[in-house]
Amino acid sequence: MKKLLLTILIILLCVLAYFIMFNNFDVGILKIESIADIKNKSNELDEKVNEATKLTAQTYPKEKSTLDTSINKLKSTKQQYESKIASMPDSEILKYMQVDNYEKEFLWTTIGSYATKQNLDLELDIVDIKNNDYYNLEFTVVGRYSDISEFIFSIEDDDELAFKIENFKMKPYAISETTTVTTYVDGEEKPTVESTTNYPYDTVTEKEFQGKDEDDEENINLFNKANESKNTNQTTKNTNQTAKNNTENQTGTSTSIVYNPDRVKATFTVSKVNVNIK
């Protein structure tokens, strides 16, 4: 009986093995592929390996050579172009440039909206450079340093404007100037006369302010230094400038300027813009 059962089991295993060899066997997580499927996948893998080998040996060098040729041609064309325009006047170069034509109203609306968004005081002058319809745009903006930075970034990043900032300068912002006149007659001091002028922009040199963060202690010191320097220079220059009769009759003048440490004035230019101002 045992021999019979063993024989039947062997026969069943042989049938199962034969079935698996020519057909897929998939039961639950157990999956056995047939010999034919294994051969097909092996052939597919061989084809991919051959294709990769071909790309490495033939296609890649060919494409690289084509790219190198294009790069060399581009460099040669660029050199020829630069050599040609080196001796050409600006008026001639502008004829070959594709420059956007801006309506005056569009410039005011677009630029003004950026200035308003950053709480800046904006002054924009459209300066004729006697070159057809091309003008220089001269900007003057007053506000916090961080807001001015955002404003410049916005107009440079605007694809419709495509501006390139030039001649950027920044100075402290003066809010008033007070002149004090003291008169002495026979050694006696007469009533002092003071006059105050409020005006938006000052004349301190650009080097006295580097445009650092308005809350930075070093930045505030720069403002104070500029203020003290201006006061000292004005006082030294003007005090006792007029002597009358003798040392007992004379007039002394001193000037002081007040700066706003939270605001600065920046100026910059956008050159050769095609503006329709009609």
For residue range 258-267, what is the model confidence (pLDDT) as tens digits? 666 678 889 9
Per-residue pLDDT, 236: 36
Mean pLDDT (the chain, rounded):
72
Q: What is the pTM of this model?
A: 0.44
**Domain residue spans of the chain:** 1-32, 33-87, 101-276
Give the Cα separation of 277 and 16 in Å (integer): 92
Give the Cα separation of 260 and 217 in Å (integer): 14
Place domain 101-276 in its CATH homologous superfamily: Ribosomal protein S6/Translation elongation factor EF1B (3.30.70.60)
pLDDT digits (tens, 9 = 90+) for 176-209: 667 776 676 666 666 565 565 554 444 333 334 4
pLDDT digits (tens, 9 = 90+) for 12-35: 777 777 666 666 666 556 666 666
Alpha helix positions (H), the chain: 2-22, 35-54, 60-86, 90-95, 104-117, 145-157, 217-238
Residue 53's alpha-carbon distances to 59, 65, 67, in angstroms, are 10, 18, 21
Of the two residues 139 and 188, the one the predictor is more confident about is 139
User: CA 268, 152, 216: angle at the middle one, nearest 5?
Assistant: 95
For the cut 90, the answer to whether the pLDDT of residue 148 exceeds it is yes
Rg (CA), the chain: 41
1, containing H or E segment: none
Give me the amino acid identity at 130.
K
